[in-house]
Amino acid sequence: MSQKSITLTHPTKHVSGTVQLTGSKSESNRALIIKAISNGKVTIENLSEADDTVLLTRALEIANTASEDAKIIDIGPAGTAMRFMTSYLNLIPGKFTLTGTERMQQRPIGILVDALKDIGADIHYQNKAGFPPLQIEGKIFQGKDTVKIKGDVSSQYISSLLLIASVLKKGLTIEIQGELTSRPYVTMTLNMLEEAGVKHSWIDNKITIAKQEAQESTIYIEPDWSAASYWYAIVALAQEGEIRLPGLKKNSLQGDIAIAEIMEYFGVKTTFEEKGILLQKIAIDTTKTLFDFKECPDLAQTVVVIAAAQKRNVSFTGLETLKIKETDRIAALQNEIGKFGATLTEDNEVYHLDSTHVKEPDSISIATYEDHRMAMAFAPLALVFKDITIEEPHVVEKSYPMYWDHLTAQGFSY
């Protein structure tokens, strides 16, 4: 999609049907690294079509080509891919420059780089210390077999190290310092390694993976619960709503399955069926007023927008990592919900949403800040307002390239 903006409307405000979501980006990107370290033993089914996964696939192909020349790998805006490639490239003989978009070069990577240097990696910063671009010279010479890493900044640093641990000469023990943010994503990484035959132990704050080989296996990628969250929003904000999402599982590896429980308080019932889930609009339950997103920060934008549209006054915790995502998501949310009268204020890491003065303008224009989740979280407001303009709609290609097509199939028009 090349338009600078689209203006969404939904004439009936009713939704009903089935939506087939793409494979999970989070699972797909982990599976690609696991396949890369397996020497051909691991295969993948239902790989995501998201741009981030396409970029990581291409980066791995470039890294593993036969040429001895120094290689430039531009990961674009793909944050997970940047973190995972920062570790993976240390396994490959050669010289690499790992870079990305202007925003990517503003996103910190120092904690991961320091940990890799502790175990013998040869990594240097091309420009500003602590940030991409990176100069990496593989192959890693392992000294230490234990690293300490802060747990409250980004779980992707930990997952990045875990994904390469089994091929290091001494294996690796990661000692997590402080509270672990987004724990389900670390658990996802370990469970997917287990699917490929890579064992681990996790005792207290230490995760250990010994040197070992992956086994012959096939990793099936479940549809994306993060993408599902936008359909929860659509059902919640529709006048009438019932949507089926095939393939999603009750025993999911994805932490964003938390959306199913959260949305019970915003008027959406989840029924787990044999082949997926059924979402149905029900009465809103206003008994819960504090929601914790420490384990599932990617859901925060969606839920904040829903709550504001429903004119709820609620509070949120666990939003600390949102400031270092594709954009400063806290500031972006504050700016955009402010356009229809809601406010989000911080009080010692608790964020309070005040929707007392929310109004329903006939039309509103939403900036997306080069952030796919901003576009997808705000688009369902077309069910509340007469119309809503989404700027830079192509950003959804990062994680959910069929999003606008799926919306039009459910009665949205632009």
Q: Name the band, by pLDDT with cuts 50, 70 and 90, for residue 384.
A: very high
Average pLDDT score over residue span 293-301: 92
- Please check whether residue 407 is in contact with residue 238, taking contact to mean a CB–CB distance below 8 angstroms: no
Average pLDDT score over residue span 400-406: 96
pLDDT score for 368: 96
Residue 30 scores a pLDDT above 80 = yes
Q: Name the band, by pLDDT with cuts 50, 70 and 90, for residue 170.
A: very high
Helices (H), 66-129: 79-88, 110-118
Question: Residue holding tokens 């980004």?
Answer: 154
Residue 327 scores a pLDDT above 90 = no
Q: What's the CA gap between 179 and 275, in Å, rounded?
A: 36
Residue 111 scores a pLDDT above 90 = yes
Residue 40 scores a pLDDT above 70 = yes
CA count, 13 A, side-chain hemisphere, 212:
16
Write the single-letter amino acid at 279: L
Q: Between residues 363 and 403, which one has the greater pLDDT?
A: 403
Please state the separation of Cα 392 from the chain's center in Å: 19
Provide the 8-state DSSP code for 64. Answer: T
Contacts of 226 (CB under 8 A, 6+ apart): 24, 25, 26, 254, 256, 298, 299, 399
Contacts of 103 (CB under 8 A, 6+ apart): 77, 326, 327, 370
- Torsion angle (degrees, nearest 10) of CA 381, 77, 36, 123: -140
Q: What's the CA gap between 45 and 57, in Å, rounded?
A: 14
pLDDT score for 278: 98
Looking only at the bridges linking them, the beta strands covering 343-347 and 350-354 are antiparallel
Sequence ranges of the chain with CATH classification 3.65.10.10: 5-23+223-409, 25-220
* Omega before 169 within 30 of 0, i.e. cis: no
Q: What's the CA gap between 34 and 191, in Å, rounded?
A: 12
Average pLDDT score over residue span 86-97: 95
Q: What CATH class is the domain 5-23+223-409?
A: alpha beta
Q: What is the CATH number of domain 25-220?
A: 3.65.10.10
Mapped onto helix, strand or coil, the DSSP state of residue 344 is strand
Q: Name the band, by pLDDT with cuts 50, 70 and 90, for residue 258.
A: very high
Q: What's the CA gap between 108 and 131, in Å, rounded?
A: 5
Residue 298 scores a pLDDT above 80 = yes
pLDDT in tens, 55-71: 999 999 999 997 878 89
- Please check whether residue 405 is in contact with residue 20, taking contact to mean a CB–CB distance below 8 angstroms: no
What does the buried/exposed string (b/e) look like for 230-249 if buried means 16 or more CB atoms within 10 Å of the residue's CB? Answer: bbbbbbbbbeebebbbebbe
Q: What's the CA gap between 251 and 244, in Å, rounded?
A: 18
pLDDT score for 1: 65
Quote the mean pLDDT of the chain.
Answer: 94
pLDDT score for 152: 85
- Please check whether residue 238 is in contact with residue 15, taking contact to mean a CB–CB distance below 8 angstroms: yes
Q: What's the CA gap between 139 and 144, in Å, rounded?
A: 15
Q: Give 83's strand partners.
A: none
pLDDT score for 67: 80
Helices (H), 196-267: 225-237, 259-262
Average pLDDT score over residue span 264-284: 97
Catalytic residues: 298
Residue 360 scores a pLDDT above 90 = no
Instruction: List phi, psi (to 5°) of 207.
Output: -110, 125
- Please check whether residue 8 is in contact with residue 412, taking contact to mean a CB–CB distance below 8 angstroms: yes
State percent of the chain over pLDDT 70.
99
pLDDT score for 350: 94
Average pLDDT score over residue span 115-129: 95
